[in-house]
Amino acid sequence: MKRRLKDATAWVGVIAARQQTPEAIADEAMAKLYSAYADLKGGSTDDDMFDRVAAAINVGLIRAEQIDAVCVAPMLEARDALIRCDAIRGKHGRYGFDGPGLQAMAAGLEVYEEMLRKSTPLQMRQAMTASIDRMRQQIAGTLQ
């Protein structure tokens, strides 16, 4: 008995998800990420820009944990810089970074970009899912 696929081209997506992220997609993602970071440095009040950068750093932290401990430290420092950035927003009404935060973010974004460019879309999607799960656990107070 011959099985028929619901989508005869599903194999294309399966293969694509397991290949390195295409350069054009990585370029576009990083352009948006660097633009959002520039907005935050410039004193933006746009919470969406903060969320975009924070989401990338959180996904990057998960991906770094999957790769090597040497990648984790810059991602943790970038995460801490974003926590301070958010505190600046709370105190002054605008996002901003302290000096160490600027350095940490530059390093964190550099590591994130390298991971994005060398990872498959499937690996990045799995890191995103794990990041969302971790946030849910933190909210529920069940993260160990």
Residue spans per domain, the chain: 21-140
Taking only the tens place, the pLDDT of each residue in 95-132 is 999 999 999 999 999 999 999 999 999 999 999 999 99
Q: Which of the four pLDDT bands, split at 50, 70 and 90, describes residue 17? A: low
Bigger pLDDT: 135 vs 93: 93
Is 18 within 8 Å of 120 (Cβ atoms)? Answer: yes
Q: Report whether pLDDT(74) > 70.
A: yes
Q: Find all residues with CB under 8 Å of 71, minimum gap 6, and list them.
A: 63, 64, 111, 115
Q: Report whether pLDDT(38) > 90.
A: yes
